[in-house]
Structure 1
Amino acid sequence: MIKKNLNLSMKIVLLLLSSAILAILCYAFFRNNVTDFYTFIETVEKPFNEKTFIKGFKEEAKNISIYSKDKNDKKELKKLLKKHDDYTDIFLYNEKELYIDGSFGKILDEPVGFTPLYILKSDFEQYAFNNFFIETITFKDGEGIVYVSSMHLLKYVKYYFYVALFVSLLIFFLPTFIFIKRKVKYINILKQEVLNMSQGDLSHAMTIMSHDELAILAQEMDTLRITLASNYQNEARIKEAHQEMITCLSHDLRTPLTALRGYLDILCLHCYKDEKQMDHYLNSCIEKTEQIKDLSNKTFEYSLVYNDDLIPSLETISSESFIQYIEEHLEYLELEGFKIEKEITISSVQLHLDLSMMKRMMDNICSNIQKYARKEQPIYLQISIEKGNLKIVFENEKKEINHEVESNKIGLKSVKKIIEIHQGQCFIQDLMDSFILIITFPCYL
């Protein structure tokens, strides 16, 4: 018990020291950024409009003499110089920069007490006196130089100071208060959690706070809870894995079925030029049928996204063959009304790829384009060699989001995992109006 109290006491002492340092740093931060606060006030509030003030001053100065010794003229001049608010100083100099007359703002006449709080506050105010400007004014009998000092920021600095003081004190006291309050409640929390375990609730983790004796007790109780709940968790994980496999299988089957339906519609409507093109569509139908059959026979592969141990069946193919393979998949998009703009700058290289996985990857990419791309804008395809890698870029503009279109992201996850299995990289930029997919594969000369 003595060790426990000592540990908690040391934590409180260290917390108080840390809070004090943070509070001082916070106060210093506010103090160092007071000029930024002034700049913000000048930008948002504009407490003193220099142009309006000078404009009015110039209009009245035209009818007033500054060099006349007549008492009435001096009286009028003094009246003009005092025509300002409590936060403005005005001083008048002649052309030789000799002082003629002036008027201080009444804010400077207010009594102050030299208390510690005032000393701290006045330290924030010192920069509020730096806002001044000089203007040459034409009077009735000559020109004079008017020096105007604006102290309007003093109206706002006290609020800034009180906020800085409040936040600093809050940083000092709040962490210690929260720490003590949490420790007082911790035993009741552990008591309730043990009661929950006794009633069969094994899904709720024990609350572990800090590293004191109570936390060690909670950790041991949590280890016991995990041991008791492991069988239930394993059963839930198996069920979830089966559901994810079914979802992935459904997605991958739907893509070739959609393409097959499209080819069959074309054949049914006789939308082909000649028998050669008809044969091409028939072969495409057969190919999609074989793909569906392959997917049905290898359902275990649809744990791809969640299986880190899958090994691809790599074949060596040329870059030309692979590009032709990509272009064949894009033909269906062109038949659907999409425009494809290609920029292919590539030399002959060798690639090690699993063609069945590449087929699934292209089906998923084309399905994604068909669902979400705008037909009015072209699909950009760029293929090049960069730093020993084959780089493929798909870019399209996105149509307005249709919430009825299913989007479980499993297609893009599958594409990314296939590329990673081939030691490649996949970059996805899903912007507001456009979608960019960048794929890189290692290539060999």
Structure 2
Amino acid sequence: MNNKKRGRTFLKIYLAFLTSIISFFTIYAFRFDVLQLSESDENSSIVDEVKIKRLNQKLYEINLNVDNNDKILSILQSELENYNYQVLMRSDNDEIAIPITKFESMIYNNKLSQGQFELLHFKNGDAYIEIYPTFKSYFSIYVIVDFIISILIFIICYFLFNYIDKKQLINKATQKLQNTRFGKRLSVELIGVNLLAVAIAISAYLFMYNNRYAYFSFIRDNVAENTNMKIADELQDMFKDVNINEKTYNKINNSLNNSFDSHTTVTLMDEKKPEMYLSTFYSYELYSSNNLYDVSAISSANSSTHTIKFKNKKIFAFISTSPVAPYAPSYLYTIIFIAISLYAITLIWFIQNKVKMILKLQEDVDILAAGNLTHEISILGGDEIGELGKNLNEMRISFYETMESENRMQDANKKLITSMSHDLRTPLTSLMGYLDILRLQKGDPKQSQVYLDKAAEKVEQIRSLSDQMFEYFLVYGQDENANLTLQSCEEWINYIEESVNLLKYQDYKIKMELERSGLLRLNMTLMKRAMDNIFSNLQKYADITSPITIISEIKKGHYCLLVENSKRKDIDDIESNHIGLKSVDRIIKLHNGTIKIKNTEQHFLILIELPMIV
């Protein structure tokens, strides 16, 4: 597995794990609502009279004092294991502030947590006990079910992310957005992705921050239950060799304040002198509104009463702690990290997507560079990268068509050269034969004249073939400077008239009107060759029984020459490579002119327009 694949797998696991963790605490936040639905009988959590009676039977022979505190706590714990409670001793119907207390994992602000008051009978008097249900069994099962659901969510999310990655659903959706008018610029896309990443990060942070009570409640209910007992053990170890009296109060008080944080309150009370007590400082301002600690899971402390044995006596220790408070900063740092990671993941995904597009373009260009011009360039998105791909693809097509055209031209050149070489070799061979006969022959002058005529015929054939080669290379050769010079139309018109006279000599009927005035930039050699091609076509294809129209005029700053004729009926029997007209077109364009050709089954028309010099 390469680094890229490992990174994608880690990202999918991270997102699936994050989703399952958030789901776990979100589901945990609804535990009280589920409890209310499951507790159809409002009296199901009340301690029955039988248990209260059995409890009184055990306590009736015991005095309620500090010496018996541990024994009383043991009895209460055995009978009220799944309850929180607080016992207030009464003396002459006056309540004194030496309670026996156990408040842990308390349910707050819930109708199921309403207290149940009962009267307990001790040997030295009666006391009220306030009892609250804890529903420990229910919460244990709820946590297990919640954990199983979260595991299933993790598995589903992981396979879902795998499916999305495999089908590239996000990339397809992104490409659709890129094809809109908002996705035409990388700068706009980058701003949009940054805003989206910030929105995702802030939303995740606010969601986790506003639901921090679920996390803190879970820690309180499942992690920090035995905090008070640990503090009681620390107090016992701290003061077992210390006498407690008025002389040592300050020393003991300093020890208490130096040993415990601001989330813990330890109150030491002497049963004999309840007005004399020692207490640590408790930071209530931490739980003011709009504060990280401002949740009931933290601000509502776990409280319990313990007996501490000093060297000279036993006294009550009332311990109240917020065991979740130390976890609050780490939770804040964690959700900040998660928010930043979501922002980074969104931004990195966008950058990687763009890098992937660029690498795809590079891959396509490398294929083209290797010579495969048929490979199509990928057009990804509608931004500058997509536009670059589109332009590269158009360039590829243009270059491919040019290469194909050049290949066709090269093939045609090879065929033409091969054909011309063969055609030239044939008359040359014959010509050399006739010349050898003439050179060796002695006698009959008439026979020599016949060989001379045949030699002249072969020379004419060779000249015609060389002219065809010249015309071909003029048409398919590279652009060259025509070396135009300023001159009168007179010479050109005179050459046209000479060609017309030759047609008349061959019994062609001519209708002619020629304009002789005006100045043109001409290469007369090229223009004469163009006229030769036009009149050669007339000799080949024009119907000798129909008049040929040749008209020239000056129109809108251009010298216009029109040649029109009817076609012979046997024109299909005449071979042609059409190089002549292509040569004319090339020559006229070298003169910065235009040529229009209209060729039908019965008529042929050619119109030449050359710019005049004013």
Provide the TM-score with structure 2 as the length reference: 0.30
Return the TM-score normalized by structure 1: 0.39
Larger radius of gyration: 2
